Amino acid sequence: MGMSYIFLFFMIFLVVAALIAVHTKDLLSAVICVGAIGFGGSLMFLFLRAPDIAITQIAVEVLGLVILIRATISRDKTFISGDREFFGIVVSVALLFAISVVGLKAFDELPEFGTPVFVVAGETQENIASQDYIEQSLSKTGAANVVAAVILDFRAYDTLGEATVLFTSILGAVVILRKKARNLPEAAP
Amino acid sequence: MKGMTIIVKTVSSWVKVLIFLFGIYITIFGHLTPGGGFAGGVILACSYILLMLAFGREFAEKNLSLPVVSKLDCVGALFFAAIALFGLIYGAAGFFYNFLHQEIQAGKVEALDLYSAGTIPFSNIAICLKVAASLFMIVLLLSIFRADSSAGEEE
């Protein structure tokens, strides 16, 4: 029960950071608040005993995002002006409240923490695939880190797909952000 | 962008080596400790982005130019695909067969060694190369793009 109070604290921290990120006028402060959101999420993953994803989250979201935005927008206008519409705020707050209520109901329906749910059809609760991964990862692949064994051996095909997605997106970004434009033929007047 | 003050330059020239080393550690020990190719690659890219922020874009481009980065990206992707195909050739058991793991089962390599998990460390290194190159390339390209567009507006 003590764990859920930690998560409640982190959730309140995340909500406050998100509100500050939305309402601040300075763009750099907003970026730092987004970094704080990533830091809170990373700490939540750490308390959920997922250090792999916590390391990745803190590297991408805190360092990567903040440094990327700092490196790319340093000379632009960093102050936001203008007021928000009252109707928009009311609608978004009502929508968020409704989603929170439904989400709290949904959290009660979730399986208990630590219970594997990856059950292949036809197998009983004692003989499920995720339990096999935990028990046989060291003897079958030699990797002490079960996450590495799953993403690079048992399910390496998924990782190949992710690498392909990353490669394709980088290819698209390189094409769009070319240094010099392609020589277009002279447009007819 | 010619870089920041002398304090930032001095501190980042000390720290960049440690960050780079930490990224390599996270990658190579990915099959034994938490971490892996993706996190290690992001940390490696962050060390170069720190270099770029502190010393200016031209300095970072002189160290690791855009053609080299794009070639590293392709090498990482090809290395990962080659590991998958070698599993098909050697093991004859299918895609991504862990064909190096037989040595460990034969007792040549101890379990929990640095070189112990067959193809998994090599996959980690390939993914690390790929992620680091692509992340650094994105930041470099965005920086070049912004410099070009702001120069175009001033004219």
Average pLDDT, stretch A57-76?
A: 72
Q: What DSSP state is assigned to residue A84?
A: P
User: Does residue B52 lie in a domain region?
Assistant: yes
**B143 CB-contact burial (10 Å; exposed 0-12 / middle 13-18 / buried 19+):** buried
User: Does residue B110 lie in a domain region?
Assistant: yes
Mean pLDDT value across chain B: 81
Contact in structure between B96 and B87 (CB atoms under 8 Å): yes
Q: Could you tell me the residue range of the domain that residue B102 belongs to?
A: 6-154
Taken in order B87, B90, B92, B93, is the CA torsion positive or negative? negative
| pLDDT level of residue A165 (50, 70, 90 thresholds) | very high
User: Does residue B55 lie in a domain region?
Assistant: yes
* Tokens read off for B122: 């090599």
Among A52, A71, A69, A169, CA closest to B48: A71
User: Does the predicted TM-score (pTM) go above 0.90?
Assistant: no
Collect all residues of chain B within an 8 Å Cβ-Cβ radius of residue A142.
31, 98, 101, 104, 111, 116-118, 120
Average pLDDT, stretch B33-53?
A: 87
Question: What is the reported pLDDT for B101?
Answer: 67
User: Does residue B1 lie in a domain region?
Assistant: no
The model's pLDDT over A68-97, given as tens digits with 9 standing for 90+, comes to 776 666 555 556 666 667 888 889 889 989
B residues 102-131 closer than 8 Å to A (CB): 104, 111-112, 116-120, 123-124, 127, 130-131
Average pLDDT, stretch A56-62?
A: 84
For chain A, domain boundaries: 1-110, 116-179
Contact in structure between A167 and B73 (CB atoms under 8 Å): yes
* B104-112 own/partner pairs: CB under 8 Å, 24+ apart: B104/A142, B111/A138, B111/A142, B111/A144, B112/A144, B112/B32
Question: What is the reported pLDDT for B154?
Answer: 47
Contact in structure between A68 and B49 (CB atoms under 8 Å): yes
> For residues A12 and B50, what is the distance between their CA atoms, to the nearest angstrom?
32
Strands (E), chain A: none
Of A51-55, A75-79, B101-105, the range with the lowest mean pLDDT is A75-79
Please report the ipTM that was assigned to this predicted complex. 0.80
The model's pLDDT over B58-95, given as tens digits with 9 standing for 90+, comes to 888 888 888 898 899 899 999 988 888 887 777 666 66
User: Does residue B36 lie in a domain region?
Assistant: yes
> For residues A56 and A42, what is the distance between their CA atoms, to the nearest angstrom?
8
Average pLDDT, stretch A98-124?
A: 74
| pLDDT level of residue B155 (50, 70, 90 thresholds) | very low
**B17 CB-contact burial (10 Å; exposed 0-12 / middle 13-18 / buried 19+):** exposed
User: Does residue B38 lie in a domain region?
Assistant: yes
The total of structural domains in chain B comes to 1
Record: contact A149-B80, CB cut-off 8 A: no
Mean pLDDT value across chain A: 78
| pLDDT level of residue A106 (50, 70, 90 thresholds) | confident
